[in-house]
Amino acid sequence: MGGFLRQHSVGVTFSVVLHGALVLALMLGITFGPAQRQRQLAPVIEATVVDNAAIEREMRRLEELEQAELRRRQEEERQAREAAERARREQEQAEQRAAEERRRLEEERVAREQEAAREQERLRQLQREREEAERRQEAERRAREEEERRRAEEARLAEQRRQEEERRRQEEEQRRRAEEEARLAEQRRQEEERRRREEEERRQQAELEAQLARELEAEAERLRAVQSGELEAYIRMIQARIEQNWIEPPGTPPGLRCEVNVVQIPSGDVIDVRVGQCNGNDAVVRSIEAAVRRASPLPLPRVPSLFERNLILNFCPDC
């Protein structure tokens, strides 16, 4: 009923307002005179009674409509439940039919697979029988071929033995001729080797004499250069070149004296430098090594025999 009242709220509200207006008019009519109040009171009371009856009839009608609406909704719900139940039963029946169809298809598949397996087994049996027959035929063929090979091998071995005997005879003859030729060739080789050794000895002797003469001349030249002061001049040129390229670091002690080992190649290019005994610190040592590398290539001596690959220099800027 509450749903029906909500749907017909406008009509119900109008009826209630009308009824209230009639009651108010009845109350206001009390202030009139007696005669007039008597004349107006009857219609008002009558109207009030009529309106109350109409309201009750309207309320009953609304109630009936609400009940009818409730019965309609209950009927719809029942029909919906029945439809859902029918749908569920139909779904179950469809699933049952689908399951039966799947079982039927599965049985058919299993039957087909069994039939296929039997057919495959029959084919495998036929294949085994055919392979067995082929193996027997192959064995017979191999036996025939083996017999033919054996006979051919016997004939080949006989021919090989004959050829081997002929080959050994020819090889023996060739060996005797080769030994004779080798003996003569060895004699010629020994004679040639002897002449070659004698020539090599003469050549080596001449080279040794020439090398000794060159070394004697170089040593004499070096001795003359040393005596003339060329070696000292050569060393001073190198020391001067290094000192020109030396950048004195802070903290250099007075009276600096260091032994410097330099390795150079004939062009004067420095390939290694190491500072030995030195009264300077690490910075001084590094500065001397850097000076030697900056001085590369070093001056070459005016007398080539004075060149030394390994030089030991005294680095003493204050000396």
For residue range 205-260, list pLDDT tens digits in order: 888 877 776 767 667 666 776 666 778 888 888 999 999 999 989 888 888 999 99
**H-type helices in the chain, by residue range?**
2-7, 9-28, 34-227, 230-244, 282-295
**DSSP for residue 1:** -
Residues sharing a CB contact under 8 Å with residue 187, sequence separation 6 or more, in sequence order: none
Q: Are 15 and 58 in contact (CB under 8 A)?
A: yes
Residue 33 has φ and ψ, to the nearest 5°, of -70, 165
pTM here? 0.34
Report yes or no: 313 and 291 within 8 Å, Cβ to Cβ.
no
Stretch 192-207: mean pLDDT? 87
CA-to-CA distance for 284 and 318, rounded, in angstroms? 14
Q: Report residue 12's pLDDT band, with 50, 70 and 90 as the boundaries.
A: very low
Provide, rounded to the nearest whole percent, the portion of the chain with pLDDT above 90: 12
Contact 292, 244 (CB under 8 A): no
Structure tokens that stand for 237 in this block: 């040129």
As a whole number of angstroms, the distance between CA 51 and CA 44 comes to 10
